[in-house]
Amino acid sequence: MPNEWWRDAVIYQVYPRSFADSDGDGMGDLPGITGRLPHLKQLGIDAVWLSPFYPSPQHDAGYDVADYRSVDPRFGYLGDADKLVTEAHHLGLKFIVDLVPNHTSSEHAWFQAALAASPGSPERERYIFRDGRGDQPPNSWTSMFGGSAWERVPDGQWYLHLFDVSQPDLNWGNPEVRAEFTGILRFWLDRGVDGFRVDVAHGLIKEATLAEWTQPSAILGGLDPVGPRPPMWDQDGVHEIYQEWRAVLNEYEPARILVAEAWVAPADRLARYVRPDEMHQAFNFEYLEAPWRAADLRKVISSTLAANDSVGAPTTWVLSNHDVVRHASRLGYPAGTRRMNGIGADDPQPDAGLGLRRARAATLQMLALPGSVYLYQGEELGLPEHTTMPDEVREDPAWKRSGHTERGRDGCRVPIPWEADAPSYGFGPSDASWLPQPATWAEFALDRQAGVPGSTWELYRRALSLRNEHGLGRGTLTWQETSSDVLAFRNGDVLVLSNLGKSLVALPAGARVLLTSEPLDADGRLPGDVTVWAVV
- Shortest distance, CB of residue 220 to ligand GLC, whole angstroms? 5
Catalytic site residue 251? Answer: yes
Q: Is 362 in the site for ligand GLC (CB under 6 A)?
A: no
Nearer to ligand GLC, 262 or 505 (CB): 262
- Shortest distance, CB of residue 129 to ligand GLC, whole angstroms? 20
Tell me the C-alpha distance between 368 and 372, whole Å.
10
| Interacting residues of 344 by C-beta distance below 8 A, sequence separation 6+ | 387, 388, 389, 391, 407
Task: Give the CA distances from residue 165 to residues 2, 146, 162, 535, in Å, rounded to whole numbers and listed in that order.
Answer: 45, 10, 8, 54
- Shortest distance, CB of residue 497 to ligand GLC, whole angstroms? 34
Nearer to ligand GLC, 17 or 448 (CB): 17
Strands 316-318 and 486-491: what pairing? unpaired
Nearest Cα to Cα of residue 71 among 34, 24, 118, 110: 34
Q: What is the dihedral of CA 325, 318, 280, 2, to 10 degrees?
A: 140
Nearer to ligand GLC, 103 or 357 (CB): 103
- Shortest distance, CB of residue 168 to ligand GLC, whole angstroms? 12
Task: Give the CA distances from residue 390 to residues 342, 351, 387, 408, 462, in Å, rounded to whole numbers and listed in that order.
Answer: 12, 20, 9, 13, 37
- Shortest distance, CB of residue 11 to ligand GLC, whole angstroms? 15
Site for ligand GLC in 231-290 (CB under 6 A): 261
Residues pairing with 258 in the sheet: 196
- Shortest distance, CB of residue 424 to ligand GLC, whole angstroms? 23
Nearer to ligand GLC, 29 or 261 (CB): 261
Tell me the C-alpha distance between 461 and 258, whole Å.
26
Neighbours of 441 (CB within 10 A): 20
Catalytic residue of the set 8, 64, 199, 379: 199
- Shortest distance, CB of residue 353 to ligand GLC, whole angstroms? 29
Q: Residue 4: is it exposed, middle or buried by C-beta count within 10 angstroms (0-12/13-18/19+)? A: middle
Q: Is 63 in the site for ligand GLC (CB under 6 A)?
A: yes
- Identity of the amino acid at 403: G
Name the 3-class secondary structure at 309: helix
Among 21, 60, 380, 518, binds ligand GLC (CB under 6 A): 60
Nearer to ligand GLC, 262 or 534 (CB): 262
Number of residues forming the site for ligand GLC (CB under 6 A): 10
Among 71, 81, 93, 200, binds ligand GLC (CB under 6 A): 200
Catalytic residue of the set 135, 190, 251, 346: 251
The contact pattern for ligand GLC, residues 300-339, with x = CB under 6 A and - = no contact, is ----------------------xx----------------
CB-based closest residue to ligand GLC: 63
Q: Is 410 in the site for ligand GLC (CB under 6 A)?
A: no
Site for ligand GLC in 492-531 (CB under 6 A): none
Q: Lay out the sheet containing 372-376: strands in order across.
A: 281-282, 257-260, 195-198, 94-99, 47-50, 10-14, 372-376, 316-318
Nearer to ligand GLC, 178 or 322 (CB): 322
Tell me the C-alpha distance between 517 and 213, whole Å.
46
Neighbours of 247 (CB within 10 A): 11
The contact pattern for ligand GLC, residues 96-115, with x = CB under 6 A and - = no contact, is ----x---------------
| Interacting residues of 389 by C-beta distance below 8 A, sequence separation 6+ | 344, 345, 410, 411, 414, 435, 436
Name the 3-class secondary structure at 169: strand
Nearer to ligand GLC, 283 or 427 (CB): 283
Site for ligand GLC in 424-483 (CB under 6 A): none
- Shortest distance, CB of residue 532 to ligand GLC, whole angstroms? 34
CA atoms within 13 A on the CB side of 146: 13
- Shortest distance, CB of residue 268 to ligand GLC, whole angstroms? 22
Among 10, 40, 93, 220, binds ligand GLC (CB under 6 A): 220
Q: H-helix or E-strand containing 512? A: strand 512-516
Rg (CA), the chain: 23
Nearer to ligand GLC, 325 or 496 (CB): 325
Name the 3-class secondary structure at 42: helix
Among 163, 213, 273, 434, binds ligand GLC (CB under 6 A): 163
Nearer to ligand GLC, 151 or 261 (CB): 261
Q: Is 199 in the site for ligand GLC (CB under 6 A)?
A: yes
Q: What is the dihedral of CA 56, 59, 60, 64, to 10 degrees?
A: -40
Number of helices followed by number of strands (H, E) in the chain: 13, 16
Catalytically active residues are 199, 251
**Residues at the site binding ligand GLC, with contacts judged by CB under 6 A:** 60, 63, 100, 163, 199-200, 220, 261, 322-323
